[in-house]
Structures are given as structure tokens and as C-alpha cells.
A and B are shown apart, each in its own frame.
Chain A
Amino acid sequence: MTLQHYLVISAILFTLGIFAVLTRRNAISILMGIELILNSCNLNFAAFSRFMTPPEDISGQIIAIFGIVLAAAEAAVFLAIILAIYREFGSIRPNEVDTLKG
């Protein structure tokens, strides 16, 4: 297992995430895409920390843990917003929430 393996996995995850964010119609699916992107980043941090720095320096891994916490918080807020949108519009499809569109 070399650094490249991790990076490839991370790239696949990132691409999948982007693809999900750009193509899905459902806001929940978009959230899942965003989570994939975040996790690909976390994987990158951990991998680089493991292979590129001395073993006693674990700051990259700590940032990954921060990233996970951040993702959790973000997911909570996001879901709350989606819930509010659903109550208001009866839909969670972003292209249908277009009150501001001119």
C-alpha cells in the first residue's frame, strides 16, 4: 500500500462526490455527494500525514478528525435547512425552489 493507492481511492471518491452534487435532483443526494467530497479530503490528509511526515507528527490525521466533525455539523445544519425548505415548498428539489428567479 503506497501513497498512490490512497490518492487514487481519494480521487475516485472526490469524482463520485462531484458527480453526485452536479447531477442529482434530490437535495439529500447532493448532501451525500458533499459528504463524499469531504471524506475524500479527509483521506488525503490522513494519507499525506502517514507517508509524507515523520511518524510522530500526526497533525494531518487530527485535521481529518476535525473534518469529520465539521462534516457532521454541516450535515445537521443542511438537513435542518432541507426540512424547512420542505415545509415551505413541499419539495426538496433545488431546481424547484426558485422564488428568487427573475
Chain B
Amino acid sequence: MVIPLISLILLCPLAAFAIFGLLGLAKRSFPRQDYLSTAAMLIALVCSLLLLQEVVPDPEPHTVKWLSLGSVTFSMGFYLDSVTAIMLIVVTLVSSLVHIFSMGYMHGDPRYPRFFAFLSLFSFSMLFLVVSDNLLGIYIGWELVGLCSYLLIGFWFEKDSAANACKKAFLTTRVGDVGMFIGMMMLFTKFDTLSLYGETGIFSLAAAQLNTADMVWLSVAGVLIFCGAVGKSAQVPLHTWLPDAMEGPTPVSALIHAATMVAAGVYLTARMFPILTETSSLVIAYVGGITALVAATIAIVRFDIKRVLAYSTVSQLGYMMLGIGAGSYVAGLFHLTTHAFFKALLFLGSGSVIHAFHAMHGHGHDDDHGHDDDHGHEHEHGDHDAHGHDHGEDHDSEHVLGSEIPPDQDMRNMGGLRHKMPITFITMLIATLSISGVPFVFSGFWSKDAILGGVLGRAMEWNSVHHYLLFGMALFAAGLTAFYMFRLIFMTFFGEPRNQEMHNMAHESPKSMTVPLLILAALSFPVVNTLWFNADYVKPPEQAHLHAPEHAYVSPDSKVGEAGLTFSLFGISEAVAAEEGGQDTHGAHGDDGHHGHGPAHTIAMVLSIIVAGLGILLSWLFYHRRTLSAESVANSFRPIYNLFWHKYYFDEFYDGVLVALTVWKARLFAQFDGTIVDGIVNGVGKGTRDILAVFVGVFDNRIVDGLVNRVAEVTWSIGGRVRRIQTGAIQTYLFVVLAGIVLLILIFRAL
């Protein structure tokens, strides 16, 4: 049943896209492309749910030979383990809900069918990436989702900002992909295969063949492959594209740039888990930790509701990377799952808010897209007006940053919306509670705590300064997360309306939009936890090349699940214990090393509850009670505030250094082209014209023309003579005829 189900999952969205594409050749479109695409996703969702039953503990990949080049054979195939199955459900579920949501949100867009076709193509690519059993297949899906991301960010390509954002996203992720490709090639040269699983897969070969001398090489390969994930999952320093990607329609932000595609990087890193070494793990953990902290600090000063969520996404992706880098395979993927649901919910909720304001703008014209266009022009004008007098750097940087906020996304225009949009408010509040790590009843708490506990556990177990530092960063970021998320909620839904005109027109969104919100809100409660905490179901792969440092703290037998009590609240204590126990049986670092997890989880849990509470409290004081003034704090820490406001000057750095360097290099090459290459070409041209052409010209004029002219003259003179025979006198002709007959008679007589 596995193969038919997976095939169906892949083929349904592909067919929905293909129908659009084939009809497109005939310059028509299917009138209900939205129903077609949504139906395809729902079928895929049902199949994914059925697949849950098919997962076996040690699956074999289902492969076929795809391409034989000389002695090398590339195969394509599916690999279905529990992680794949859960990812399939996450992708198809979020995708289905986003499809349904889009029917309301994108209603009236002139390219409405195309939007759904692109969503279908994206879903296919993402699912293909998830089920592939080899790096080549993953790479194909990887680039395809990149393409879809490009198409959908630039969906409203009339807007300059959207057109620029999609190019930026494409090029930035490409930088990481180069690293990933080199990493793949390193593995390929070593093992002659790109398959990951099975006896001839990279993982088995790596476990069997590599020794300590290969560790540097393997670390480099691991980090290079991780580069691809850095690009795709918007980790520092390649994170700048993701906030700009918010120029795309909001459902796209929810599906691609929050829930699924950006998580592909985490998924890839998790897939590479068995070949990570200490070094590459540490690099991954640091990149993740730094990303989590940097993005969270940027998020606290944003005013654009979608950008807050974008930085929040970057930050949470950092968490996942940190979890995987710190060896908490399950925790990282668990957070991926919970994050997919609550972040998709937050984005769709923000879409609902934006839609409410849209409708106000669209009072005169029903066409959603039309006034989106208007917005584009509006901020362009606004930009010019505001910065018309500024010259030089300031103007440029403002433009590059894309910090002109559309009025319908500016939280400073919102406030008090909870009465106007009760469903949106409640669902978004649930997601916010989840992402902030409010204890016990929300899924986000469990997954974030799993990561924090995993990092602290690794720190205690290895007695590693790095991991203590990373734990501190993650903990601080967790507090910031609670702070900026509640800032968003307070600014948007609480308080007095700041823009009365916009507030009056705001209204709750239609059912097609609120129903997905409600479903996602239900999923923000810990309903998927049991899957992840079941050690028989999700088994972290063995890390054959990861060794605990020698100074690792070896505790005496301390296998006491202090966290057991709290976990038992949701009947998962045994599962957690089983997970920890399960890791022991195959843990490369021996039995003793692992037991730090128990107390670590308790400590991490307590600390994370404290920081989350602190973050929420501060947010409440700043943005609801207003006993503290954000402005005065910003003023007293002006340099830090500026650093956050300018997003650590990453964009300025890239524009000032990389882009400028590239442009300078391009100019240099242009100059080289203009003077030297053109000079050679023109010189050759001139030489040809002045020397060779003269000879050829003479030859042409004298010999070729002469021949032609002679032939013509001869023909002319013969013609002149022959024409005299034709007198026009009939009697002459008749005489000739008679003479001819007489002649013929004489000839025949003679014969």
C-alpha cells in the first residue's frame, strides 16, 4: 500500500497543476481551478493519514534505477519512516487549509486560477522533497520549492517591491544551495552514490568505512550541506530574504514561508543527522542559536504585522536547527511540526486582519488585486514624499530595507480589533500562547521545552561551555518570543483603535477563512505530541561519527525521571521516559552520558516558564497597561534600538559590500568587454574589411561579374539574330511549313 499511496499523494497536486498548464497552452483556464487544487490536496491529506498505519520501524527505501552514467547509477525512490509520515501530514494538512483560506483571501484576484495552480505545484515539490530517499531527489524537490517560492512571492509582480523580493529570495537561497551542492558532490565522490538509506546508502557506507581520519572531511561535507539549509531556512547570515518574502500574498507566507518550505532546511539537516560530527553539529547549533536570538531581537521593534511574524519564523527555525545541532533530533522535528501549525495560524490570522482592512480600502472597487496594486503605488508615493528631501545613504537604505509599511499591515493603525474580529482574535491568541511557551496546555511549550531541555542536557552531559552558552541564548530568545508575540496581540487586538476610520470598516472574515483558523487553533493544543513522544514510533537515528568529548561529565547512575511528574499530566511520561531510554540503547556515547536529560528537562522547563512569564508580563506593562513606555526605553538604549531597527545592518552590509562589489566587478568586466574584447572584434572586422574584402571585391567584380556579363551578352546577340526569323507574316511561316513537309517527304522517300 505504501507505493500507491505515496504515488497518489504526489500525483494529485501535480495533476492539478498539469491541468492548469495544459489548458494554459490553449490559452484557457479551468473555471474552478481552486476546487481542483483543493480537492487534490484533500486527497493527498487522506492518503497521508492512511500512510501513518504503514510506517514500520526499520523501513527499506523503495527505489528504481533512474539514470545510468557509465559505472554510476542514480536511483530515485521513496523512503517512508515516521518522520516522513508526519511531515507528509503537516504539509498536506497546512496546504489544504491554506487552499481553503485562499479561496476567501484571494477572491477576485485577476490571476486567481494561477495562484491555485502554483500552490499545487508547490505542494507537489514539497511532498517530493519529503518522500525522496536520496540526495538527488531531495535536491530536485528543493530547487522546485525554491522556484515556487519565487513565483509566489512575485505573484503580484506589478509591485516593484514584490518583484525585487522574489529575486532576492531566489538569489539568496541559491548562495546556500551552491554549498549544498558541493557537499553532495563530496559525499558522491567518496561513496559513488547519492542514496541515503539501505545497505548501499550513504549512511551505512559512512558508518562502515569512515574512520577518525575522515572526520574533518565529513565535518566539512556536513557543514556544506547545512549551507543549503541555512539558505532555505533563512538562518543567519542568509536570513534576509525571508522578511522580504512577505511581499507575497499572505496565504503564501503562511504555507511556504512559515510552515513548510522554510522547514525543509530543518528537515534536510535532520535527514543528515546520522553523518553529523561534533564539529558540524556545533556549527549547526551555533548558527541556529544565533539566528534564534538575532531574529527575536529584530522582531521586537518591527511594526509591520507580517514582518514581526517573519522574524519570529526565522527565530523559531533557529530553535529547530539548534535542537538538531545539539543532538535533540526528536525535539527539533517536534518543534517543526508544532511550529508549522501555530505559525501558519498566525500568518493566516494576520491575513484575516489585513483582509479586513483590505475590504475597507476596496470600498470603491471590489477587485482585491486592484487596490493591492494601488497600495504599491501608494507606498511608492509615500516613500518619495517622505524621503524626497533626503539625499544619499538614508534614502537608499530606506528603500533597500523595504521598511515602507503598507497601511493595512502597520500595527500602529490597528488596536481594539478583538471585538470586531472575535474568531481571528481568539485563534491568534491561542497560537500566540503556544509560540510563547505558555505551559502545559499548548503544543509550543512542549516542543520548545524539548529543545531547551535537550540543549541543557547536552551541556550537562558533555560539561560543554558551548552548549551552556547556547542554552542561555535560546532561553533569552524564548523570553523575547513571548514579549514580541504579546506585543503583536496587544497592539492589534487590545486597547483603543488608533485609526478610527480603518477600525470602523474592519469586519470578521468569511467562513472559508475562519474555518481553517479554527482547525489550526485546535492543532495548537498538544494533539500531535503523542506521536513524537512514542519512542517506538519516532526513533532518532544513530550518530556513528559523533563522539562525546573526553572531559564529558559522567554521572553515576541517575536515571531518575524527575520530569516524570510534570509530563504525566498528559499521559506521556512513559513515552518520554521511553524516548530517553530508547536513545540509550544505541547512543554512541555510552549509557552513562545520557542521563542528564531528566534533571535538565526539569530545569529547562522551570526556566522557560519563568522567562516566558517575564516576557508576557513586560509586554503587558509596555503595550497594554502602558506603565512603561516603549519610547523612553528605546531612547535610553538608542544605539541598541538602532541596531535592532536596522536589522543588524545585514541588508546594508550586503548592499554596501556584496552587491557593490558585484556591481563594481560587473563594471570592470564591462569595461574589459568594451575595450579589449570589442577592440579585438572590431580590429578583426576592420582588417577583414580593409584587406581581405578588397581582394574579394576585385575577384567579384572582374571574374564573377565578367563571367555573368559575358553569358548575358552572348545570349543577347544570339537573340537579336534569331528574332529576325519571326517576321509575323503568316505566308512566310506557311511557306516554311510547306518546305518542311516537302523536305520530310523527300527524306522519307530516300529512306
A21 CB contacts on chain B under 8 angstroms: 731, 734
A102 and B731 contact, Cβ closer than 8 Å, known pairs A18-B738, A22-B738: no
B730 CB contacts on chain A under 8 angstroms: 94
Interface assignment of A95: CB less than 8 Å from any CB of chain B: yes
Q: Which residue of A lies closest to B729 (CB)?
A: A95
Known: A18-B738, A94-B729. 14 other contacts (CB 8 A): A21-B731, A22-B731, A22-B734, A22-B735, A22-B738, A23-B731, A30-B731, A94-B730, A95-B729, A95-B731, A98-B728, A98-B729, A102-B723, A102-B728
Task: Name A's B-contacting residues (CB within 8 A).
Answer: 18, 21-23, 30, 94-95, 98, 100-102
Interface of A is mostly: helix
Q: How far is the CA of A23 from the CA of B732 in the complex (A)?
A: 9
B738 → A minimal CB distance (Å): 6
A98 CB contacts on chain B under 8 angstroms: 728-729
Most buried by A among B727, B728, B729, B734: B728
Q: How far is the CA of A94 from the CA of B735 in the complex (A)?
A: 15
Q: Which residue of A lies closest to B730 (CB)?
A: A94
- Chain B contributes a number of interface residues (CB within 8 A of A) equal to 10
Q: How far is the CA of A23 from the CA of B738 in the complex (A)?
A: 13
B731 CB contacts on chain A under 8 angstroms: 21-23, 30, 94-95
Q: Which residue of B lies closest to A94 (CB)?
A: B730
A22 CB contacts on chain B under 8 angstroms: 731, 734-735, 738
A33 → B minimal CB distance (Å): 10
Q: Which residue of B lies closest to A101 (CB)?
A: B728
Q: How far is the CA of A101 from the CA of B734 in the complex (A)?
A: 17
Q: Provide a sorted-by-A list of 5 A–B residue pairs whose CB atoms are within 8 angstroms.
A: A18-B738, A21-B734, A23-B731, A102-B726, A102-B728
A58 → B minimal CB distance (Å): 30
Q: How far is the CA of A101 from the CA of B729 in the complex (A)?
A: 9
Q: How far is the CA of A100 from the CA of B738 in the complex (A)?
A: 24
A101 CB contacts on chain B under 8 angstroms: 727-728
A95 CB contacts on chain B under 8 angstroms: 729, 731
A61 → B minimal CB distance (Å): 27
B738 CB contacts on chain A under 8 angstroms: 18, 22
Q: How far is the CA of A98 from the CA of B727 in the complex (A)?
A: 9
Q: Which residue of B lies closest to A30 (CB)?
A: B731
B654 → A minimal CB distance (Å): 84
B723 CB contacts on chain A under 8 angstroms: 102
> 1/0 contact trace for B375-397 toward A, CB 8 Å?
00000000000000000000000
The 9 closest A-B pairs by CB, nearest first: A101-B728, A98-B728, A95-B729, A22-B735, A94-B730, A22-B731, A22-B734, A21-B734, A18-B738
A100 pairs with B734, CB closer than 8 A:
no
B:713-728 near A, CB below 8 Å: 723, 726-728
Q: Which residue of A lies closest to B728 (CB)?
A: A101
B:95-123 near A, CB below 8 Å: none
A23 CB contacts on chain B under 8 angstroms: 731
A100 pairs with B735, CB closer than 8 A:
no
A18 CB contacts on chain B under 8 angstroms: 738
B726 → A minimal CB distance (Å): 7
Q: How far is the CA of A95 from the CA of B735 in the complex (A)?
A: 14
Q: Which residue of B lies closest to A100 (CB)?
A: B728
A85 → B minimal CB distance (Å): 12
Q: Which residue of A lies closest to B738 (CB)?
A: A18
Q: How far is the CA of A94 from the CA of B727 in the complex (A)?
A: 12
Q: Which residue of A lies closest to B723 (CB)?
A: A102
A1 → B minimal CB distance (Å): 27
A22 → B minimal CB distance (Å): 5
Q: How far is the CA of A101 from the CA of B726 in the complex (A)?
A: 8
> 1/0 contact trace for B691-734 toward A, CB 8 Å?
00000000000000000000000000000000100111111001
A63 → B minimal CB distance (Å): 22
B:396-424 near A, CB below 8 Å: none
B734 CB contacts on chain A under 8 angstroms: 21-22
B223 → A minimal CB distance (Å): 94
Q: Which residue of B lies closest to A21 (CB)?
A: B734
Q: How far is the CA of A98 from the CA of B729 in the complex (A)?
A: 8
Q: How far is the CA of A22 from the CA of B729 in the complex (A)?
A: 10
Q: How far is the CA of A102 from the CA of B722 in the complex (A)?
A: 13
Q: How far is the CA of A95 from the CA of B726 in the complex (A)?
A: 13
Q: How far is the CA of A94 from the CA of B729 in the complex (A)?
A: 7
Q: How far is the CA of A95 from the CA of B731 in the complex (A)?
A: 9
> 1/0 contact trace for B221-245 toward A, CB 8 Å?
0000000000000000000000000
